[in-house]
Amino acid sequence: MVHAVKKRCYALLCAYDGSNFAGFQRQPPLQTVQGVLEDALAGLGIRTRVEGAGRTDRGVHACRHVVAFRTADPVDPENLPGRLQPLLPTGLAVLGCRLVPWSFHPRYSARQKVYRYRVTVSTVPDEWAQTHAWVLPDPRGFPGLAPPVHLDRAAIERALELCTGVHDFALLAHPSARGKTVRRLSEASLRIFERGGEPLFEFTFRSPGFLRHQIRNLVGMTVSFGLGLVDEAEVLRLLSGEGERWLGARAPGRGLTFLEAEYPPELDPFPAPQPVG
Told to judge if 57 belongs to the known catalytic residues of this protein, a careful annotator would answer yes
Listed in sequence order, the residues at least 6 apart from 246 whose beta carbon sits closer than 8 Å to its beta carbon are: 171, 172, 217, 220, 221, 238
DSSP β-bridge partners for residue 98 = 11
Q: In the chain, what is the greatest distance between 2 CA atoms, to the nearest angstrom?
A: 78
Helix (H) or strand (E) holding 70: strand 61-71
DSSP-based three-state secondary structure for 125: coil
Catalytic annotation, pick one of 17, 57, 152, 231: 57
DSSP β-bridge partners for residue 203 = 117, 190
Is 11:67 a contact under the CB 8 Å cutoff? yes
Neighbours of 151 (CB within 10 A): 19
Report DSSP state, residue 20: G
From its phi and psi, is residue 49 left (phi > 0), alpha (psi between -120 and 50) or beta? Answer: beta
Q: Which long-range contacts (CB under 8 A, 24 or more apart) does 36-45 make?
A: 36/88, 36/89, 36/92, 37/12, 37/67, 37/84, 37/88, 37/92, 37/94, 39/87, 40/84, 40/87, 40/88, 41/69, 41/84, 43/87, 44/80, 44/83, 44/84, 44/87, 45/73
Question: Cα torsion at 231, 239, 208, 11 (round to 10°)?
Answer: -70
DSSP-based three-state secondary structure for 191: strand
Give catalytic residues, as residue numbers.
57
